[in-house]
């Protein structure tokens, strides 16, 4: 079976403070988008075998997809092995959650392929949380509020699907290094957010446009390439320009698709540019299985 492994953007990201466990307390709003990798799953053999195409990534336990399959087979030892092939398209180090999405897709794909009962959702969430903070969101998808480390997920009523632009400069940003610098900058004080938006019933794109990303100023200071793309998007007329996660991908919203039609020519030539669409949970279920 082949499954689509969809990316995400953060419509909003607040850093509220340091937790006792050393992680930062977050409040973030995730949104699924149709940019995706492909995950091929084939049952057979012994253990987990992984091949990666399209990007230079490890094919062993350092890869989240490999670890997800290992965890699933340990929890439900109904087969001896699985072969995974990843076709990568989501940019690395872009804040789009590609690795976490791959892990969640492997968990969901194996459940589907092996006919494991839907009652395993809670256990899948436990496995996902152990794999990475973003993985639980990808088990839900659509529009969702993330709290805690970002791994406590509350599904929100889906927004109408719309076109967006994703622009990734030619560099990778390490999430761990961004949060480490944030910790050093705030070592002598509690991290405070710029404010708070209330997300719940009645959320619309006007409200989403008022969100922000507390990591954005730090990333723009550290990486001039990221800042240049921001400036180019603003000059091109984007109504909303926001960093996804810890970057380096920018989410850009335009009022008019015609206004954005020439966007790629206005950007630095080494950027990856994707004309994408947001996905609600119904669309995710319909599109997840390729064949």
Q: What is the per-residue pLDDT for 185?
A: 61
Angle subtended at Cα 65 by Cα 61 and Cα 67, rounded to the nearest 5 degrees: 40
Q: What is the pLDDT of residues 154-210, one digit of tens each?
A: 999 999 999 999 999 988 888 888 888 887 665 554 544 445 566 666 678 888 888
Flag whether the pTM goes above 0.85.
yes
Beta pairing partners, 251:
166, 242
Q: What is the per-residue pLDDT for 104?
A: 98
pLDDT above 60 for 84: yes
Q: Which residues lie closer than 8 Å to 161 by C-beta, 6 or more apart?
A: 277, 278, 279, 280, 283
Distance CA 59, CA 54 (A): 13
The mean per-residue pLDDT over the stretch 89-113 comes to 96
Lowest mean pLDDT among 22-26, 78-82, 256-260, 278-282: 256-260
How many residues in total does the chain contain?
A: 291
Range of 99-108, 204-213, 233-242, 259-268 with top mean pLDDT: 99-108
In the chain, % of residues over pLDDT 70: 90
DSSP the chain: -EEEEEEEEEEEEEEEEE-TTSSEEEEEEEEEEEEEEEEEEEE-SSEEEEEEESS----STTSHHHHHHHHHHHHS-SSSEEEEEEE--SPTTSSS-HHHHHHHHHHHHHHHHHT--GGGHHHHHHHHHHH-TTHHHHHH-SEEEEETTTTEEEE-PPPPP-EEEEEE-SS---HHHHHHHHHHHTTTS----S-----STT--HHHHTT--BTTHHHHHHH-HHHHHHHHHHHHTT-SEEEE-TTSSPEEEE-S-TTTTTTGGGGS-TT-EEEEEEB--HHHHHHHSB--
Positions marked active-site: 8, 134
The mean per-residue pLDDT over the stretch 96-105 comes to 97
Q: What is the per-residue pLDDT for 206?
A: 83
Q: State how many domains the chain has.
A: 1
Q: What is the per-residue pLDDT for 120?
A: 65
From the CB of residue 56, how many other CB atoms can be counted at a distance below 10 Å? 7
More confident position, 203 or 113:
113
Q: What is the per-residue pLDDT for 108?
A: 95
CATH number, position 91: 3.30.230.10
More confident position, 172 or 288:
288
Buried residues in 216-229 as b, exposed as e (16+ CB within 10 A): bebbbeebeebeeb
Q: What is the per-residue pLDDT for 189?
A: 45
Q: What is the per-residue pLDDT for 194?
A: 44
Q: What is the pLDDT of residues 197-214, one digit of tens each?
A: 666 666 788 888 888 998
Q: What is the per-residue pLDDT for 117?
A: 77
The mean per-residue pLDDT over the stretch 141-153 comes to 93
Domain residue limits at 254: 1-291
Secondary structure of 156-181 in HEC code, one letter for each residue: CCCCCCCEEEEEECCCCCCHHHHHHH
Q: What is the per-residue pLDDT for 274?
A: 94
Q: What is the average pLDDT score of the chain?
A: 89
């Amino acid at each position: 079976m082949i499954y689509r492994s969809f990316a995400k953007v953060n419509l909003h990201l607040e850093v509220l403070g340091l937790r006792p466990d050393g992680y930062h307390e977050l409040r973030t709003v995730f949104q699924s988008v149709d940019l995706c990798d492909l995950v091929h799953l084939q049952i057979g053999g012994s253990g987990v075998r992984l091949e990666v195409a399209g990007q230079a990534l490890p094919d062993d336990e350092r890869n989240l997809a490999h670890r997800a399959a290992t965890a699933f087979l340990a929890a439900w030892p109904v087969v001896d092995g699985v072969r995974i092939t990843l076709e990568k398209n989501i940019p690395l180090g872009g804040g789009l959650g590609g690795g976490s999405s791959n892990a969640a897709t492997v968990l969901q794909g194996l459940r589907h392929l092996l006919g494991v009962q839907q009652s395993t959702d809670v256990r899948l969430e436990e496995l996902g949380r152990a794999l990475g903070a973003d993985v639980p969101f990808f088990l839900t998808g659509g529009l969702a509020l993330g709290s805690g480390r970002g791994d406590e997920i509350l599904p929100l009523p889906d927004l109408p699907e719309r076109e967006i632009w994703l622009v990734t400069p030619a560099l990778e940003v390490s999430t761990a290094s961004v949060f480490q610098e944030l910790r050093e900058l705030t070592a002598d004080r509690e991290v405070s957010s710029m404010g708070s938006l209330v997300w719940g019933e009645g959320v619309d794109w006007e409200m989403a446009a008022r969100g922000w990303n507390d990591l954005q100023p730090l990333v723009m200071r550290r990486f001039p390439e990221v800042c240049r793309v921001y400036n180019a998007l603003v000059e091109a007329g984007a109504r909303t320009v926001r960093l996804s996660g810890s970057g380096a991908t920018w989410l850009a919203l335009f009022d008019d698709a015609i206004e954005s039609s020439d966007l790629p020519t206005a950007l630095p030539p080494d950027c990856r540019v994707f004309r994408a669409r947001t996905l609600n949970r119904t669309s995710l279920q319909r599109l997840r299985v390729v064949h």
